């Protein structure tokens, strides 16, 4: 690979998004949120009322899928059939459906090309669940961010402006998503053998980014 790829994997709420965005700015490269792709699939499953658990119906749906990342002012926005859907994919329902449907090998295979296509042409920080293990096994640097469930739930809760859920529900949903993501057969959430794990439970995001930058600069 001629481009420099950095992968940040880990469970929801571990600080991946803020860390990856800050890191990409410091390294002057693009940031790619691969969770958005899985959320995009879930969004269209919901919109089109697809029976995704049926492989035949899922395959037909995926054949016609038209998800794309488009660069706007240096940042990727997600388009589906040419429409910007970035604003529609951040709901707890879509998160849960993305977690469930992403266990399907057909879904994962359909999204692989989009991710590798971006990496071919530019340096990038990729955030996800299987970046270091499956999508970019040869990445220059791999990090796995973790944090205690309670801390992660509190962070997610604090991000919700008009709290439609209580903290306990957020924690329960997160725990369910953890189980889905860690336990699935295909590309489960786990650190690559050569990934560096950082526990962000008691660190600020700036401290996490500093740690990562130090590792990159000293390698």
Min separation Cβ 38 and ligand DC, Å: 3
* CB closer to ligand DC out of 77 and 219: 77
CA angle (54, 56, 60) in 5-degree steps: 115
Residue 218 beta carbon to ligand DC: minimum distance, rounded to whole angstroms = 27
Given 20, 24, 30, 38, the residue binding ligand DC (CB under 6 A): 38
| Part of the chain binding ligand DC (CB under 6 A), chosen from 24-32, 53-61, 94-102, 164-172 | 94-102
Q: Which residue has the tokens 């992660």?
A: 152
Among 7, 20, 99, 133, binds ligand DC (CB under 6 A): 99
Q: Does 39 bind ligand DC (CB under 6 A)?
A: yes
| Residues 156-195 as x/- pattern, contact with ligand DC by CB under 6 A | ---------------------x---x--------------
Spatial separation of the C-alpha atoms in residues 98 and 39, rounded to whole Å: 5
**Of the candidate residues 23, 31, 110, 129, the single one contacting ligand DC (CB under 6 A):** 129
Interaction of residue 128 with ligand DC, rule CB under 6 A: yes
By CB under 6 A, is residue 34 in contact with ligand DC?
yes
User: What does residue 41 show for φ and ψ, rounded to 5 degrees?
Assistant: -60, -45
Q: Is 7 in the site for ligand DC (CB under 6 A)?
A: no
* Residue ranges that bind ligand DC, judged by CB under 6 A: 12, 34-35, 38-39, 95, 98-99, 102, 128-130, 177, 181
């Amino acid at each position: 690979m001629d481009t420099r790829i950095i992968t940040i994997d880990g469970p929801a709420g571990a600080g991946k998004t803020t860390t990856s965005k800050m890191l990409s700015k410091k390294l002057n490269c693009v940031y790619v949120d691969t969770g958005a792709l899985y959320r995009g699939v879930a969004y269209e499953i919901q919109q089109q009322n697809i029976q995704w658990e049926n492989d035949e119906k899922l395959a037909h749906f995926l054949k016609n899928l038209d998800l794309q990342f488009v660069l706007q002012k240096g940042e990727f926005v997600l388009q589906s059939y040419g429409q910007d859907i970035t604003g529609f994919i951040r709901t707890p329902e879509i998160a849960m459906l993305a977690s469930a449907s992403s266990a399907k090998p057909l879904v994962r295979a359909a999204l692989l090309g989009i991710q590798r296509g971006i990496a071919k042409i530019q340096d990038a920080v990729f955030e996800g669940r299987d970046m270091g293990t499956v999508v970019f096994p040869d990445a220059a640097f791999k990090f796995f961010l973790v944090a205690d469930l309670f801390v992660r739930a509190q962070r997610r809760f604090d991000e919700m402006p008009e709290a439609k859920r209580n903290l306990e529900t957020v924690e329960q949903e997160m725990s369910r998503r953890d189980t889905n993501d860690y336990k699935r057969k295909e590309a489960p959430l786990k650190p690559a053998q050569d990934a560096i794990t950082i526990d962000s439970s008691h660190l600020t995001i700036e401290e996490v980014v500093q740690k990562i930058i130090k590792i990159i600069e000293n390698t």
